[in-house]
Structure 1
Amino acid sequence: MLITHRAAVLGDPIEHSLSPAIHNAGYAAAGLTQWEYSRIRCNAEELPGVVGSADESFRGFSVTMPGKFAALEFADVSSERAKLIGSANTLVRQGSGWFADNTDCDGVLGALAEIGVTELPNGRAVLVGAGGTARPALWALAKLGMKHVSVVARSERVYALEPLAAALGIEFVWVKFSAPNLHDIAGASDVLVSTVPSAALESVYTFLARAPKILDVIYNPWPTPLVKAAKDRGAEAVGGLSMLLHQAVGQFEQFTGRRPDVDSMRQALPM
């Protein structure tokens, strides 16, 4: 079959990306036999050249680190949420230009929906970490109606989130890893989202596991110590593979203009 429509994931390293398996499963289920999704090794400096020189068959690009900031800067037009967050994981061809979005937001929302978190007006959340993934997570929590978020982080780098929190109408509180009431804060929350490697939580994961519902964006290895401890306490938890799936669903829709068979895409993952 002649391939007439293409998409690809850009990143460095990229060899172990699961995105081709997810997207190609979606194409197959939708009967999009002329679509193909691949990997392209590409760092931030190379991104403008790679995307700018892509032929007309390329309809979109998924962007992983280290290119998410470069993707937003490269785009001709950007979604409001990508602008707010300050990075983009999605580039979609629009006419002669490129549109940037951040479907990591959809990834967080979709993963949380799997554990019954779909609406929490005036709810309380705990966000662990203040790096790149924390920003779309904060956006998603605001979308769910959260008004109070405790951000657990080690350093004053956490204050880089403050302008975003203010723009989203969220009350922002920094909680240090050493806080003596960390277990109480987690236990009083409606949901906890962790965006940091498991090793970073070695001294505190048992405290954080008191949250009733948890999204841990890590998926290898799985389950993480945080998730195992939470489930041992009877909590509901979901991991990074679900987030990866749902951000891909958002990209699929923008690339193809069609709603995918989510179950077919899910079956392509090692869940």
Structure 2
Amino acid sequence: MQVTHRAAVLGSPIEHSLSPVLHNAGYAAAGLSGWQYSRIECTADQLPGVVAGSDGSFRGFSVTMPAKFAALEFATEVSERAAAIGSANTLTRIDGGWRADNTDCEGITGALDALLGGVPVSSALVIGAGGTARPALWALGERGVDKLTVLNRSDRSAEVAPLVRGADLDFATFDADIEALAVEADVIVSTVPARALDEHAGALAHAPVLDVIYDPWPTPLATAAASNGYTSVGGLVMLAEQSFSQFEQFTGVAAPRDAMRAALVEHRQRQTG
């Protein structure tokens, strides 16, 4: 097969990225012969050179850490949500340059839909306030959540307040009554490493859980939630959901979502035995 169109995921380390599984399965299911998706090791400092030096066959790049901030700065055009979130996970070639977008918020939205269906959410507890928390707060604000509580080791409310679309925003530290915060929430979104919640999982597991981690799975928080009768959704769902818009921006073709999801699940089952 002659490769005529390319895309790739940029980041460091990148060898374990599952994005090629999703996108290449999408190309096959959509009948896009000549398309190929790969991994490119790329730090933040290297991103401008890698993207600017790519030949015309490259139609887009997915971007993971540590290069998401560099992607936003490099772009010649920026979507509203990427500008608000402050980072970009998507670069698409346009006339005269590159357009930056952030589809991580779509990943959060899709994962919340998988977790909750159409059940309305009036209050949410978000754990963490770093790079992954920002698209989560954006997505929850877009969903119309009235009250957002961020559980973090420091108060970063000034940074994230513009993301929440007028919701009532509170910050709390782990010295607070975190069990009471969890009980009051309609959903919990954890954006921190699984091990960071080892000693707190039992106190927090009192609502449905979206945990952005997929390896290891289940996380201590997801396990504790299950023991209390609550469902959880992990990072694999979010990973798939954020990839669909990337696929469509790169190719101009509707993403074959079922085929992409199925390929990801099958790949992970082979990995985990």
TM-score (norm 1): 0.94
Residues 102 and 119 (structure 1 numbering): CA distance in 2 closer, same or farther, change over 3 Å? Answer: farther
Distance 1:39 1:141 in 2: 31
| Paired residue secondary structure (1:203) | coil
Q: Which residue, 179, 193, 199 being the options, matches 1:197?
A: 193
| Paired residue secondary structure (2:55) | coil
**Aligned pairs, how many?**
266
Residue 192 (structure 1) shift: 0.9
Instruction: Check the 8 A contact 1:119/1:145 in 2, yes or no.
Output: no
| 2:147 paired residue number | 148
Instruction: Check the 8 A contact 2:78/2:101 in 1, yes or no.
Output: yes
| 1:82 paired residue number | 82
| 1:183 paired residue number | 179
| 2:254 paired residue number | 259
Distance 2:138 2:118 in 1: 14
Distance 2:109 2:90 in 1: 17
Distance 2:186 2:20 in 1: 34
Q: Percent identity?
A: 57
| Paired residue secondary structure (1:114) | helix
Distance 2:118 2:193 in 1: 25
Residue 160 (structure 1) shift: 2.8
Instruction: Check the 8 A contact 2:29/2:256 in 1, yes or no.
Output: yes
Distance 2:183 2:33 in 1: 49
Task: Structure 1: give runs of 5+ residues left out of the alignment.
Answer: none
Distance 1:156 1:143 in 2: 22
Instruction: Check the 8 A contact 2:115/2:233 in 1, yes or no.
Output: yes
Distance 1:65 1:13 in 2: 8
Instruction: Check the 8 A contact 1:119/1:144 in 2, yes or no.
Output: no
Instruction: Check the 8 A contact 2:157/2:169 in 1, yes or no.
Output: no
| Paired residue secondary structure (1:115) | helix
| Paired residue secondary structure (2:242) | helix
Instruction: Check the 8 A contact 2:141/2:163 in 1, yes or no.
Output: no
| Paired residue secondary structure (2:38) | strand
| Paired residue secondary structure (1:38) | strand
Amino acid at match of 1:2: Q
| Paired residue secondary structure (1:9) | strand
After TM superposition, the structure 1 = structure 2 runs for residues 1-271 of structure 1, keeping only pairs within 5 Å, are: 1-118=1-118, 120=120, 123-157=122-156, 159-165=158-164, 168-180=165-177, 182-211=178-207, 213-269=208-264, 270=268
Residue 73 (structure 1) shift: 0.5
Residues 2 and 133 (structure 1 numbering): CA distance in 2 closer, same or farther, change over 3 Å? Answer: same
Residue 207 (structure 1) shift: 1.5
Residues 252 and 184 (structure 1 numbering): CA distance in 2 closer, same or farther, change over 3 Å? Answer: same
Task: Structure 2: give runs of 5+ residues left out of the alignment.
Answer: none
Cα deviation code 1:59-118 (max 9, x no counterpart):
000000000000000001110000000000000011121000000011001111111244
Amino acid at match of 1:164: L
Distance 2:145 2:157 in 1: 18
| Paired residue secondary structure (2:110) | helix
Residue 159 (structure 1) shift: 4.5
TM-score (norm 2): 0.94
Aligned-pair Cα RMSD in Å: 1.3
Distance 1:233 1:202 in 2: 16
| Paired residue secondary structure (1:13) | coil
Instruction: Check the 8 A contact 1:7/1:37 in 2, yes or no.
Output: yes
Distance 1:205 1:6 in 2: 42
